Amino acid sequence: MTRDPDTARAAPLIELRGVTKTYGSGSAAFQALRGIDLAIGEGDFVAVMGPSGSGKSTVMNILGCLDVPTEGAYLFRGVPVQRLTRDQRALLRRRHFGFVFQGFNLLPRTSAQENVELPLLYRGEGTAARHTAAREALAAVGLAGWEHHTPAELSGGQQQRVAIARALVTQPTVLLADEPTGNLDTQRGREIMDLLASLNHVRGITVLMVTHEPDMAAYARRVVRFVDGRVATDTVNGAAPGRPVQPAEEAA
């Protein structure tokens, strides 16, 4: 049966239906998620907030195919992810998801370009293709000309830009960012948020971001707040579209 084009366009990119996650068993069981319903459209920018232990990190692990629900369904473009094998989930993750972490996670003695190339190396891409893609990704985050600098030669803001370029080099559908400004001062944090908002607005990349900072959540189109393993609120905040990426010298 052929799907109606309008229905296909309206379908969410990501959907959680009654998702629960329980760790342990018996008297030691802990329910981290308690029946989560959540739909995320392609091109959305969602900030996930909540106190420690609220379930926000657990749900991000499930969305990034790093974990599976105990009960309920996780659909990615209509495909039930929880039914995939471990290898199939890994393939989905490599093809569609990019990850940005609070701690940058860069190899210290390796150049910015080589750090960005790593995901392509794991994919088995050839040397020339890796070099070209990495340079393009670094240019996209305002770091053209900084390819051969090591992390020690870069500011915190520049290191996070390298980490974002590494996530972008595989051309992901979804960018998952876990406290991406947590190790940065206010100005550098705003520069990174400008970059994420621009990537969302200009490139159409779906961004899902965990943050404790209301100022950073204000860049998102939606804010989903978790409390005690449940979605407490899901609101549209009317954030302005992303601004252009700043030149590298201004981002240093």
Count of other CB atoms within 10 angstroms of residue 130: 21
Model confidence, pTM: 0.86
pLDDT digits (tens, 9 = 90+) for 145-156: 999 999 999 999
Q: Does residue 193 carry a pLDDT above 50?
A: yes
Domains and CATH numbers, the chain: 41-70+96-251 (3.40.50.300)
Count other C-beta atoms under 10 Å from residue 25's C-beta. Answer: 8
**What pLDDT shows up at residue 102?**
84
Choose from 118-127, 207-216, 235-244 the range with maximum mean pLDDT.
207-216
If you average pLDDT over residues 195-220, what whole number do you get? 94
How confident is residue 122, by pLDDT bands cut at 50, 70 and 90? confident
